[in-house]
A and B are shown apart, each in its own frame.
Chain A
Amino acid sequence: MTAASNSMIAIGNLVKKFGPFTAVDGVSFSVAKGEVLGFLGPNGAGKSTTMKMVTGYLAPTDGTISVCGHKMDEETLAAQRLIGYLPEGAPAYTDMTPLEFLRFIANVRGLKGPAAKAAIDKAVARTEIGGVLEQAIDTLSKGFRRRVGLAQAILHDPAVLIMDEPTDGLDPNQKYAVRRLIAEMAPEKAIIISTHILEEVDAICTRALIIDRGQIVADGTPAQLMARSRYHNAVSLIMPAAQSGGVAEVLGALPGVAAVEAQPRGEDAAFTVFQPQGAEGDTRLIDEIANLAKEKGWTLRTLYREPGRLDEVFRRLTRPDTETDASGEAA
């Protein structure tokens, strides 16, 4: 992607084996300042294992990890100082209060006195946990716990931020707040997040990796990934079901249409009109359909050109048993 010179995280051919099982199988990527890299993949694909290796918690079986030029295996502590890490499930010492916990982290990270206080205040404000600072962590709700974990991760204003499912278990408002926080910090940091929530990728990631069975099966911006969807550039329309008789045939007869799919939707009917592969950026189809609707007197509830559907790309790439031609441009 970006020039290797400004990449803050550089991962080369990372392999992790647990006995006979290969959890991560030759993963390479780099993340530059300002990038938010999203890890996508089914459970057990190797996302968390990769993050655990990047943060120095697990030692790789093979491969290299470099954080701002510090090799993780040789200069572990120097590399770890630059990283803020939110592990999966946001573990914390539950017998402590968030304030005690953050003080401990500040202490370990070498922040003292006023510097520690300033760092804690800032992290507390950013994660909005000011109201629960004196409450034992094990009495906190899942959302607050996650945010305490987040506060811990950003406490020392790290150059590299690695978060394993940062929005898991949060309600929509909290998710929004965390995404905003990530976006706010993004320009100054290199960030890796993992997520199951595909809309999140579109919302906050500048780049996404889809990982399956330990290997990268797709690497690109959200738009690039969506362009790999069969829905990319297809035109969808919804009209009352009463009018929909024969519509599929009419649409199918339009020039430059490869296929038409119909789906009943309650009182409405939805149609998706596919263009042949390689019809990139062609807007004529949607215009034609709009004209056609006017001509035939269809009541269109919606008419839009699909950017592509991430969930469909995700499913196709991570289920090689159904489609084997999906390995595309694996990195």
Chain B
Amino acid sequence: MREMWAIFKRELQGYFATPLAYVFIIIFLFCTGAFAFYLGGYFEREQADLKTFFDFHPWLYLFLIPAVAMRLWAEERRVGTIELLLSLPVPLWAAVLGKFLAAWVFIGIALTLTFPMWLTVSYLGDPDHGVILASYIGSFLMAGGYLAIGSCLSAITRNQVIAFVVSVVVCFLFTVSGLPIVIDFFAVWAPQAVITTIASFSFLTHFDAITRGVIDLRDMLYFASLMGVWLVATAVIVDMKKAG
């Protein structure tokens, strides 16, 4: 535990020690706002909710989160600090979890800073605060999912560009697995059960459910187990690399 917090603290500090944190947060805030107002037609809908704001989160995360995740392990491998980290008396899970949590909290901070959107909508009308809170929680959970995938793929390579590109592709598949682009590919030949299973992997399906204001245990469980599986995979890959 102690080791995990030490790593968590170091990593989180690391984000703010470089321009990365500030650049990321500014771009994140700018994009969430711009997408909601311009692409989402926030005002045209004349509804006091943040639906247009949250609708774009999966697509934004698709590119922004692999950008955060790509450095998690690839950077350590490139610089050589991984040798230091793994020769310190730190259990592997503590290193994997500490790094992941730091990145997740960092994204959480960026997400929290979008609160003026909520203030605006509260000022303009009378939104359902429960739905907004649920959507924030859903968005944060989804961010964790993207991040866990990125963490695992970052552990595979020392090349951050590869880590980024592969993460975007895998995240994309997870995002759209409920949409025709993926389903049609299977629909012709696969049995219905397989298709339902694939569709149930979709971030969009689960995220949409939450943004409607229903925090279903199944959706929570989906994101939690998704993170769990990818983080275990991260640990397995880091450990496998030890064996050379």
Contacts and interface: CB of A to CB of B under 8 A. Distances in A.
Interface of A: 16-18, 52, 55-59, 61, 76-78, 80-81, 83, 85, 87-89, 91-96, 100, 104-105, 107-110, 136, 152
A318 B86 CA distance: 31
A105 B80 contact: no
B125 interface: no
Contact of A89 (B7, B80, B88, B89): B80
B6 A91 contact: no
B244 interface: yes
Contacts of B192: none
B130 interface: no
A56 B86 contact: yes
A83 B87 CA distance: 9
B244 A87 contact: no
18 contacts: A17-B244, A18-B244, A52-B87, A57-B86, A58-B243, A59-B243, A77-B89, A80-B87, A80-B89, A81-B89, A92-B84, A93-B14, A93-B81, A96-B10, A108-B2, A108-B3, A110-B2, A136-B17
Nearest to B98: A108
Contact of A109 (B14, B18, B89, B244): B89
B225 interface: no
B213 to A, nearest CB: 41
B83 A56 contact: no
Interface of B: 2-3, 6-7, 9-10, 13-14, 17-18, 79-81, 83-84, 86-91, 242-244
Contacts of A110: 2
A92 B2 CA distance: 20
Contacts of A56: 86-87
Name the residue in B7, B18, B242 with the highest tally of chain A Cβ atoms < 10 Å from its Cβ: B242
Contact of A87 (B10, B17, B84, B89): B84
A57 B242 contact: yes
A78 B83 CA distance: 18
B244 A16 contact: yes
B6 A57 contact: no
Contact of A91 (B81, B88, B244): B81
Given A96-B14, A96-B17, A87 B90 contact: no
A120 to B, nearest CB: 14
B85 to A, nearest CB: 9
B242 A58 contact: yes
A96 B6 contact: no
B88 A80 contact: yes
B10 A57 contact: no
B79 A91 contact: yes
Contacts of A78: 89
Given A94-B79, A95-B17, A55 B87 contact: yes
A55 B86 CA distance: 9
Given A56-B86, A59-B242, A77-B91, A96 B13 contact: yes
Contacts of B13: 96, 100
Name the residue in A17, A88, A93 with the highest tally of chain B Cβ atoms < 10 Å from its Cβ: A93
A127 to B, nearest CB: 16
